[in-house]
A and B are shown apart, each in its own frame.
Chain A
Amino acid sequence: MPGLISTNLHNRRTVFAISLLAYVVLFVFIGRREGHGAILALFPVLTVALCWGWRAGLAAGLCAFPLNMLMLTLIGLDWKPGMLTSVGIIGHVVFVLLGVFMGYIRDLFIQRQEANERLQEEMERRARDMELLRSTEMRLEIIIRESIDAIVITGAMMSRITMVNLAFLELVGRTQDEVLGGSVFNFMPVADRRYETVLGDELVIDERVYAEMLAKMEELAERGRVSNWEFYLLNSSGLAVPLEASAVSFNAAQLEHEGAVMVFHDITHRKRIERRLQQANERLQLEIAERARDFEALQSAQERLAIIIEQSGDSIFISESMDMTFQMCNKAFCDLVGFDRAALMGESIFNLLPIIGQRYTAMMGDEIVIDETFYEKSRPMMGQLQEQGMITNWDLFFVNRDQKLVPVELNIRYMYNEQQEFVAAVSMVRDITQRKLFERELQQAKDFLENIIENSIDGIIISDATGHITMVNRAFEEIIDQQRDELFGQTPVVFSVFDEGHYETTVGEHVRVSRDYFTEAFAAMEKFFQDGKISGLLFYLKRKDGRLVEVEDSITMLYNRQGQSVGSVSIMRDITARKRMEHVLVRQRDQLAVANKELESFSYSVSHDLRAPLRSISGFSSALTEDFGHVLPAEGRRYLERIRAASGRMGGLIDDMLKLSRVTRYDMRREQVSLSALAADIAAQLREQERGRDVFCTIEPGLIALGDAHLLRIAVENLLGNAWKYTGKRPRAEIYFGTAAEGDAALPEHARGAAVYCVRDNGVGFDMAYADKLFGAFQRLHAEREFPGTGIGLATVQRIVHRHGGRIWAQSAPEAGATFYFTLTQEGS
């Protein structure tokens, strides 16, 4: 039943048709029997009632009687109304009542079912609505939270903030806790105050601005929404941020309270752009105005340009054709080539180039014959001009009006218009005579230096910063017997000794190169790298023939102006010859030592052997005199006396000679010697020996000399002794010992700067003609009988002075006294 009830119209019609058809068929079979057929009508009545409700049931019940009558007629029962029984009538009334009743039952059932369905539908709809609402809310919340625009949800009249998003918090620079519950007004500028905006300009909230704001708030209250509301909020720095606000108000009916949603869109960027646009606009205006002025100025600029070109220091030549024929040139160009503009008319700039094979005088003063290479060098430049429309720094010669070659630097540039069409060729020509002269001077200086290096007696190597040889001179080639071509790009390793062992040297000896040699060499090089130079370094180089050559090397690091090392120069002196000389000297020294030894034994012999016969001569002549004097005539005795005297003199000579040789061999010991004290002591001795002489002796006090006390005593003894002796004939002898006066005319040039001592007397003096004999051994300028002596004294003095490294000389004239000068140290030392 419920299925039937709930079926749709189509199903209900089918059910009705089936029941009607069942009624008709059953009626045909059982309708003839009394009362049976009439009951059959219950099927369709109930079907209709159940399908269409009580009204349809009533109608079907009412129709059951006529239908049964119709059926009875159709099946051929002759029916008459009189045949109608009360049962039949009651039955039909029951049909009607059943139809209405069942219909009513059905309606009630349907009604309840429909109410149930509606309720369920409503509940589903509610659920769907809730779902939708929830997702919408979440989305909304996300939108609000993530919105770039600041969003605030407030209570009535923008107070009591209930929700804000991150953008708003960032905008005002507060935390959520600080903001919630407060009012938007807290972040708004206050009236009658000045603020700075984030754009950097000033904002004044005057009455007008305030009134506008109030108007907008009223509009929000009245119309529920407001937009395009220009708004300012203060950020954490107190700067006003320009915003565009929109607000929507809502009321309690919807959301249980009244309030508004406010959206603030930061328009700082827009404002900035607007401002820039405005500024750009202003600039554009200015520019336009300027252009207008420029345009006016263009005319005069063109004129000025012509003047500038004309006055330019560089020579300028302009051609409007590619063959570079004259169009325009400036004064400098005319001056450079010596032609006036009229003469240049129709000429190409290339016509100024020199002719092959011709001899010219250049501005630098030298003669130059132009050969083909001059043009060959220019060919690539011409190609470049055609290809690239320009040439720069083209060095060549122009021939000027005087047929002289002017060195020039040529720059040519083709000019094109905007359509890339050739307009003109502009040539800038620079006179580089000065530069050429300078370059030549530089070259000469370089040649000069290279010449010096090349011809130096010492070997010279120049290396770059990496130690590779860049230059070698002839002397060095000779030192290591190798050509420079083999050395360029090499390092000194190629001629260094690296293996221990025995080697032959150029000196001709065999040397052993040991580990010590390398240790020393490395230490020296280390020192060189530390100090930047080293000198007097001795080491071996290996020659091509395998022999070693010893050199004395001085290496100096070369620096540029920035103080960076750019290489080094090494100057090497071949000391082979010196070494050989040293060897010779050593040999000679040894020979000398032998000779000296011989001399020593010779002097020994002299002292010993020569004196013995003298003693015999002297002794026996004495014996002769004593024993046989009485038998000899007086003359004979005199002769014997002379023999004795002569042998005595010879003994003296031998003694003096030995003294002289001893002075030479004596081991000197230098010390501070007081010459003054020495001289005074000797003078006292002399005075003692020759009492009764009137000698006035002056000794300068405080004379201290560095020398050997014993030798100096001998020297001063001799000098003062001589003075004493040669003043013997003066009634009043005057002797002076001291230093020579600065202005003494007798002082030779060589004595300047050294202490010069002198012994002066007023004795007999001597003739300067014999001055050269003065200091020779056994040389005397006076007769023995006048002044006794052996002629050894001054030779001894000279030797002593020489051994001290000094000099001795004398100044005198006959009967005018004599002065002996001496120094004791080498001049200047």
Chain B
Amino acid sequence: MNKRIIMIVEDNDDDLELAMRAFKFNHVLNEIVVARDGVEALDYLFGTGPHAGRDLCVMPEVVLLDLKMPRIGGLEVLRRVRADSRTRYLPVVVLTSSDEEKDMIDSYHYGVNSYIRKPVDFNQFTDAVRQLSLYWMVLNQCPRNPQC
């Protein structure tokens, strides 16, 4: 199980590219799974749609989740992830432009592990990504899916 995956759910191309750049910049070599909205994210996580038959024992170490997305938003994704026993303990970090308290409260209500506001400044953003990957990929410990 050396395949440590980071999943990023982001509809904004610019933000996605900047994030990828930041990973690259910080020498993050893990596989990055990208979902462009909530539907794609759920398909991947539950092995449905285009991802049918996927080995569900392979789960990301962390999901970086944007809130405001077309079709299914980040909060709904979070709710479903937490409702499913397979993904109940999956580390999810909300990475969003919003600093609305309401969004923050709702996220924690549905069991987010961390809430991070995207800084406008790229340097700060890069720094944030660096710290994130370091923490979640290296330091954090998380229970495995018992069925795997």
Q: Spell out A's residues near B (CB within 8 Å).
A: 603-604, 607-609, 611-616, 618-623, 644, 647-648, 650-651, 655, 658, 662
| B131 contacts A by Cβ under 8 Å | no
Contact at A608–B120, with CB atoms within 8 Å?
no
B98 touches A615 (CB 8 A): no
Decide: A618 and B120 in contact? CB cutoff 8 A.
Answer: yes
A620 to B123, CA, bound (A): 11
- Judged by DSSP, the binding face of B is loop
Contact partner of B14 among A615, A647, A658, CB < 8 A? Answer: A615
Which of A608, A613, A619, A658 makes the CB contact (< 8 A) with B125? A619
Q: Which of A603, A615, A644, A658 counts the most B-chain CB atoms under 10 A from its CB?
A: A615
A790 to B118, CA, bound (A): 20
B99-119 CB contacts (< 8 Å) to partner A:
99-101, 118-119
Chain B CB within 10 A, most for which of A616, A655, A658? A616
Chain B residues touching A, range: 20 to 34
Does A648 contact B121, Cβ atoms closer than 8 Å? yes
Q: Are B12 and A612 in contact (CB under 8 A)?
A: yes
Q: Which residues of A contact B15 (CB under 8 A)?
A: 612, 615-616
B100 with A647: CB separation less than 8 A: no
Report the Cα distance A603→B102, complex, angstroms: 12
Q: How far is the CA of A612 from the CA of B18 in the complex (A)?
A: 11
Q: Are A608 and B121 in contact (CB under 8 A)?
A: no
Known A613-B14, A616-B14: A644·B97 in contact at CB below 8 Å: no
- Among B21, B98, B123, the residue within 8 A (CB) of A604 is B98
Interface pair A651/B121, CB less than 8 Å apart: yes
Cβ B21 vs Cβ A623 within 8 A? yes
Interface of A is mostly: helix
CB distance from B131 to the nearest CB of A (A): 17
Could you jot down 23 A-B contacts, CB within 8 Å?
A: A603-B100, A604-B100, A607-B97, A607-B99, A608-B68, A608-B98, A609-B68, A609-B97, A611-B118, A615-B14, A615-B118, A615-B120, A616-B12, A616-B14, A616-B18, A618-B120, A619-B122, A620-B18, A623-B21, A623-B122, A644-B121, A648-B120, A651-B120
Shortest Cβ gap from B37 to chain A (Å): 15
B133 at interface (Cβ–Cβ under 8 A)? Answer: no
Q: When the two chains form their complex, are residues A620 and B97 in contact, meaning their CB atoms are under 8 A apart?
A: no
Known pairs A611-B97, A612-B12, A620-B14 / 10 extra A-B pairs, C-beta < 8 Å: A608-B68, A611-B118, A611-B120, A615-B14, A615-B15, A615-B120, A616-B14, A621-B122, A623-B21, A651-B120
User: Bound complex: CA of A621 vs CA of B125, how far in Å?
Assistant: 13
- CB B135 to nearest CB in A, in angstroms, measures 21
CB atoms of A619 and B18 under 8 A apart: yes
Interface 1/0s, chain B 58-75, versus A by CB < 8 A? Answer: 000000000110000000
Q: Which residue of B lies closest to A649 (CB)?
A: B120
Selected from A608, A618, A650, A651, the residue in CB contact (under 8 A) with B96 is A608
Q: Are A607 and B100 in contact (CB under 8 A)?
A: yes
Measured CB to CB, the closest approach of chain B to A547, in angstroms, equals 48
CB distance from B94 to the nearest CB of A (A): 12
* Top 8 closest pairs, chain A to chain B, by CB: A651-B120, A616-B14, A622-B122, A619-B122, A619-B18, A611-B97, A608-B97, A608-B98
| Chain B positions 5 through 18: 1 when the CB is less than 8 Å from some CB of chain A, otherwise 0 | 00000001011001
Closest beta carbon of chain B to A243's beta carbon, Å: 125
Closest to B67 in A: A608
Q: How far is the CA of A87 from the CA of B123 in the complex (A)?
A: 230
Q: With a CB–CB cut-off of 8 A, which chain B residues contact A622? A: 122-123
Q: Contact between A614 and B21 (Cβ–Cβ < 8 Å)?
A: no
| B120 cross-chain contacts in A, Cβ below 8 A | 611, 614-615, 618, 647-648, 650-651
A38 to B120, CA, bound (A): 217
User: In the complex, A615 Cα to B95 Cα: how many Å?
Assistant: 13
Contacts of B99 in A (CB 8 A): 607, 655, 658
Nearest Cβ on chain A to B39's Cβ, whole angstroms: 20
- Chain B residue contacts of A620, Cβ below 8 A: 14, 18, 122
Contacting A at CB under 8 A, from B1-49, are: 12, 14-15, 18, 21
Which of A603, A612, A621, A648 is the one whose CB lies under 8 Å from B97? A612
A771 vs chain B, min Cβ distance (A) = 33
Which residue of chain A lies nearest to B19 when distances are taken between CB atoms in the complex? A619
Q: Are B122 and A618 in contact (CB under 8 A)?
A: yes
CA distance in complex: A619, B101 (Å): 25
Q: Is the CB of A618 within 8 A of B121?
A: yes
Instruction: Report Cα–Cα, A655/B118, bound state, in Å.
Output: 12
Q: Which of A615, A619, A651, A655 has the most CB of B within 10 A?
A: A619
Q: Is the CB of B100 within 8 A of A615?
A: no
Q: Inside 8 A of B101's CB, which chain A residues have their CB?
A: 662
The interface residues of chain A lying within 8 Å CB-to-CB of B96 are: 608
Give A532 Cβ to nearest chain B Cβ, in Å: 56
Q: Give CA–CA (A607, B102) in the complex, Å.
A: 12
Q: Which residues of B contact A607 (CB under 8 A)?
A: 97-100
Complex: how many Å from CA A133 to CA B106? Answer: 142
Q: How far is the CA of A760 from the CA of B58 in the complex (A)?
A: 63
CA distance A655 to B76 in the complex (A): 26
The docked-state distance in angstroms from the alpha carbon of A647 to that of B119 is 11
Residues on A with C-beta less than 8 A from B18 are: 615-616, 619-620, 623
Give the docked Cα–Cα distance between A651 and B18 (Å). Answer: 17
In the bound complex, how far is the Cα of B120 from the Cα of A622, in angstroms?
A: 11
In the complex, what's the smallest C-beta–C-beta distance from A603 to chain B, in angstroms? 8
A603 to B98, CA, bound (A): 10
A609 proximity list for chain B (CB < 8 A): 68, 97
User: In the complex, how many angstroms separate the beta carbon of B27 from the nearest chain A beta carbon?
Assistant: 15
What distance in Å separates the Cβ of B83 from its nearest Cβ neighbour in chain A?
25
CB-CB nearest in chain B for A659: B99
Task: Evaluate whether A619 and B97 lie within 8 angstroms (CB atoms) in the complex, with A611-B120, A614-B120, A647-B120 already known.
Answer: no
Chain B residue contacts of A621, Cβ below 8 A: 122
Smallest Cβ-Cβ distance to A652: which chain B residue:
B120
B25 — nearest CB in chain A belongs to which residue? A626
B97 contact set on A, CB distance < 8 A: 607-609, 611-612, 615
In the complex, A604→B14 CA distance in Å?
20
Closest beta carbon of chain B to A626's beta carbon, Å: 8
Instruction: Give every chain B residue within 8 A of A650 (Cβ-Cβ).
Output: 120
In the complex, how many angstroms separate the beta carbon of B112 from the nearest chain A beta carbon?
A: 17
Complex-state Cα separation, A677 to B48, whole angstroms:
58
Complex: how many Å from CA A557 to CA B68? 69
> CB-CB < 8 A to A616: which residues of B?
12, 14-15, 18
Question: Which interface residue of B67, B97, B100 has the most chain A CB atoms within 10 A?
Answer: B97
B126 to chain A, nearest CB (A): 8
Closest B residue by C-beta to A648: B121
Question: Given A607-B97, A608-B97, A608-B98, do A615 and B68 touch, yes or no (CB 8 Å)?
Answer: no
Q: How far is the CA of A360 from the CA of B98 in the complex (A)?
A: 95
Q: How far is A611 from B120 in the complex, measured between Cα atoms in Å?
A: 7
Contact, CB under 8 Å: B14 / A619: yes
Residues of B within 8 A of A618 (CB): 120-122
Q: Which of B98, B101, B125 has the most CB of A within 10 A?
A: B98
In the bound complex, what is the Cα–Cα distance between A662 and B14 (angstroms)?
A: 28
State A647–B100 Cα separation when bound (angstroms).
20
Contacts of A623 in B (CB 8 A): 18, 21, 122
